[in-house]
Amino acid sequence: MHIRNAGLVAVLGLSALVVVALAGCGTRVVVDPGTGVLNTVTASGEGKEAASPDQAEMIFGATVQGTEPKTTLAEASSTADTIVAAIKAAGIADDHIQTTGVNLYPQYDYREGQAPKITFYQASVQVRVTMEDTAKIGDVINAAAGAGATDIGGPNWTLSEDAASRAVAIEKAVADAKTRAEVMAKAAGKSVGEVVSLSEAGVSVPIIYGEFGRSAQDTAEFAPTIQPGTLDITAQVTVVFELK
């Protein structure tokens, strides 16, 4: 690869910039032959790390049917209160329990030639439970099922913001950026020096969603075995290095 002598080209009295790019790797080398201007190489890096999730969410629901809307909703709310009490007794703090849905719907009977007629009402109340101690999931599920939960969903697995594996992924991304920068610097007849600037483009952690809609009766009869597995963490950074 040949870098052209900038002294041969002048545009409006400014020194020319020669850009050497490596297609598809997100890296570019910028060489400015002008006096006093720092030569740099900018590289994008990606790092991946697998880690066991350290947080889980469960959804518990109470669904009730009745002929009167007020009493039907009250019954669903009462069952939800019982579920919440059982969850707390299983060791879940108040600030990790959140009501996420309160619904009341009329159910109609549609017959040909007749106006729709309300046959009954269906009310439901759902709560979300966040668990930092994932070893408690089985106990919490059993507690909710025993308290009358008619629907159970989850677990949804995720990773806390301060998890050490996030930092490991970032470190790998920086190392990847340096490797890319060294390849381009060598192609330009240079070597990589000190870091000029560094920015994080983001750390992504997928959420593994569990199934929703299992009946509490099935859950109680067949105690679930909870396996968290692993999550693939991906970090992306952009690093500017000095060129020597």
Range of 20-29, 146-155, 201-210 with top mean pLDDT = 146-155
- Which residue(s) pair with 80 in the sheet? none
Kindly report, residue by residue over 53-107, the tens digit of the pLDDT: 889 999 999 999 999 999 999 999 999 999 999 999 999 999 999 999 999 999 9
Q: Where in the chain is the domain with CATH 3.30.70.2970?
A: 55-158
40-51 vs 55-66, strand pairing mode = unpaired
Cα–Cα distance, 50 to 166 (Å, whole number) = 9
* Average pLDDT of the chain, as a whole number: 82
- CA 135 to centroid of chain Cα atoms: 21
Cα–Cα distance, 240 to 178 (Å, whole number) = 9
For range 168-179, the mean pLDDT: 96
Q: Where in the chain is the domain with CATH 3.30.110?
A: 6-51+164-205+235-243
pLDDT of residue 15 exceeding 90: no
Q: Which two three-digit tokens encode residue 54?
A: 């350290």
For range 30-34, the mean pLDDT: 55
Task: Return the pLDDT at 106.
Answer: 96
Kindly report, residue by residue over 108-141, the tens digit of the pLDDT: 999 888 899 999 999 999 999 999 988 889 899 9
pLDDT of residue 23 exceeding 70: no
Please report, to the nearest 10 degrees, the dihedral formed by the alpha carbons of residues 34, 189, 27, 29 taken in order.
10
CATH number of 6-51+164-205+235-243: 3.30.110
Task: Return the pLDDT at 79.
Answer: 97
Axis crossing angle, helix 69-89 with helix 137-146, rounded to the nearest 10: 140
Alpha-carbon torsion 82, 86, 89, 94, what sign?
negative
pLDDT of residue 2 exceeding 80: no
The answer regarding whether domain 55-158 maps to CATH 3.30.70.2970 reads yes
